Amino acid sequence: MLLNVLTAVLFGGNASSPAHVMPLLEIVRTEKTSAQVILDLMTVGKIIKKVPVVVGNCTGFAVNRTFFPYTQGAMILASRLSRIWSSLGNWERILLTHSLIAHLGKNNGKGYYIYEKGSKPKPDPSVLSTIEESRRLTNIMPGGKPVSVTDQEIVEMILFPVVNEACRVLDEGVVVRASDLDIASVLGMSFPSHRGGIVFWADTVGANRVYTSLKKWSQLYGNFFKPSRFLEERATRGIPLSAPASSSPASKSRL
């Protein structure tokens, strides 16, 4: 009886970093967390001026896990990507969010950018040597040489893997619905709100386009780009990524 009571109140909480800036609060439930505990936690979240989203337990929870591929890809082309993001409007905020906590952090005046008093952030040239060393160690470029890609291809090669991971998050039932992940991506990772969130944006692009591109890149550059089962199924059947998941055991396993 005591064990049942304890498991019913077992939960987790994750405030997106930096917590004093980002409004998202992920409420992490287990299969046995009671509904009342979840409701109470959502109330607490609102009291502390956060926007609560209920998620299942996994590495990175919902939003950080979804954006792991973004970090991996964006760090390879940080300087060029920042310029592209700025030209598209508000996309660069995702990279700035990472810079708040990466490479010693903004408070120390370092990140992807150099922060000097009274001036706008400037690219940190010291990061380039780290990027070049990472390229050398991964050695995934054909012939060992960097490939030539357009600005549009860079945007897609950074964000399509994020969509792919979002599909895995949906397939595993880490979130109840796609709109929860959209909200989490905007409030927890500074995804441009006018784009509607990561899944909503992917549906405007088209699941088939995302799938076809990832499949091509996986054949050229490796499994980092390999399409997920969920994405492949939605693309081949013409189903929007945001459509409710099936009642398969995988989709019910978390929530």
Predicted confidence at residue 151, as pLDDT, reads 84
Predicted confidence at residue 210, as pLDDT, reads 98
Whether the CB-CB separation of 253 and 172 falls below 8 Å is answered with yes
Total Cβ atoms within 10 A of residue 245: 17
pLDDT tens-place string over residues 185-237: 999 999 999 999 999 999 999 999 999 999 999 998 889 999 999 999 999 99
Predicted confidence at residue 149, as pLDDT, reads 81
Whole-angstrom Cα Rg for the chain: 19
Q: How confident is the model at residue 83 (pLDDT cuts 50, 70, 90)?
A: low
Report which listed range, 6-20, 32-46, 64-78, 240-254, is most confident.
Answer: 32-46
**Its pTM surpasses 0.85:** no
Tokens of 50: 């956060």
Report angle CA 163, 168, 171 to the nearest 5 degrees. Answer: 120
Displacement of CA 40 from its chain's centroid (Å): 27
CA distances from 44 to 15, 34, 37, 187, 229 (A): 13, 16, 10, 18, 37
pLDDT tens-place string over residues 129-148: 877 776 777 666 666 666 77
Q: What are residue 44's phi and psi, to 5 degrees?
A: -60, -40
